Amino acid sequence: MKTLIVANWKMNPSSLAEANRLFGLVEKGSKKIKKAEVVVCPPFPYLLSMKYQASSIKLGAQDCFWEEKGAFTGEVSPLMLKNLRCNYVIIGHSERRNYFGETDGVINKKIKSALQAKLSPIFCIGETWQERNKGKTRQVLKSQIEKGLSGIKENEVNGLILAYEPVWAIGNGKICSFKEAQVMGFYSREIIARLFSSLLAKKIPVLYGGSVNSKNARDYVREGGFDGLLVGGASLNDQEFIEILRSVVNA
């Protein structure tokens, strides 16, 4: 399986011209890197860009709603994303949980709806600094996974991807060591094995995210046993992002 490197651009950059420029550079730089599957998740409006539509880079969205269509002002459905050539959608990112009050129940509906539309949900889980320091990390991950995947059968989870992102390590340069991350990556698979089967637990890609850069990327994948990375800040710098790709596949 190819290493999956997902760029989460979040609410950046502020113009289509800048976004196209960044996309073009990433596309050019990643062309020779065959062992990685590169996914770019730009803000919704940029998904329409012809440049992205004609590219070999896979497209993802940063969120979706759970209904297919209707009177839901401001929302975007998984079907719309699928029809725009998206293959992936990030669901349950900690910024959505924190700033927009997304609950495990909401995330569960979104995951179900994305799976139904044949999009691969990149389901984010992770503990806060306080939860970690109170020794509650496992409890948090277990609850997020169980609630997020509630009511979904094993034959319906095709395409599901887990992303372990310790909230305290996101966007601030605070590093979660690959050893600490690895333990939680394994633990997440254990939960999947208990909920579904050990076969699925082995098969499901688990990504790491949280202040990933070109210096630490390799360790999470090669030493930490992750199948790929979810990269925020560093994905906005084409050279740094390409370095991450190189370091991971050349290791």
Report, in Å, the least distance between residue 179 CB and ligand PGA: 18
Q: Phi and psi of 120, rounded to 5°? A: -90, 115
Interface residue with ligand PGA, options 3, 8, 77, 247 (CB under 6 A): 8
**Comparison of 211 and 214: residue with beta carbon closer to ligand PGA:** 211
**Residue 129 contacts ligand PGA per CB under 6 A:** no
**Residue 247 contacts ligand PGA per CB under 6 A:** no
Give the CA angle between residues 203, 40, 53 to the nearest 5°: 110
Report, in Å, the least distance between residue 99 CB and ligand PGA: 12
Interface residue with ligand PGA, options 63, 131, 165, 219 (CB under 6 A): 165
Q: Determine the size of the site formed for ligand PGA (CB under 6 A).
A: 13
Interface residue with ligand PGA, options 5, 86, 160, 170 (CB under 6 A): 170
**Comparison of 8 and 108: residue with beta carbon closer to ligand PGA:** 8
- The alpha-carbon radius of gyration of the chain (Å, integer) is 17
Residue with CB nearest ligand PGA?
Answer: 232
Give burial (CB, 10 Å; 0-12/13-18/19+) of 72. exposed
**224 close to 208: Cβ distance less than 8 angstroms:** yes
Residue 119: other Cβ atoms inside 10 A: 23
**Comparison of 224 and 232: residue with beta carbon closer to ligand PGA:** 232
Cβ within 8 Å of residue 171, ≥6 positions away: 211, 232, 233
Catalytic annotation present for 165: yes
Catalytic option among 93, 102, 127, 131 = 93
Interface residue with ligand PGA, options 3, 211, 214, 216 (CB under 6 A): 211
Interface residue with ligand PGA, options 209, 224, 227, 242 (CB under 6 A): 209
Residue 180: other Cβ atoms inside 10 A: 15
162 token code pair: 């887990």
Cβ within 8 Å of residue 47, ≥6 positions away: 59, 61, 81, 84, 86
**Residue 7 contacts ligand PGA per CB under 6 A:** no
By rule CB under 6 A, what string of x and - marks binding of each residue 134-163 to ligand PGA? ------------------------------
Report, in Å, the least distance between residue 234 CB and ligand PGA: 6
Contact residues: ligand PGA, CB under 6 A: 8, 165, 170-171, 209-212, 230-234
Instruction: Give catalytic residues, as residue numbers.
Output: 93, 165
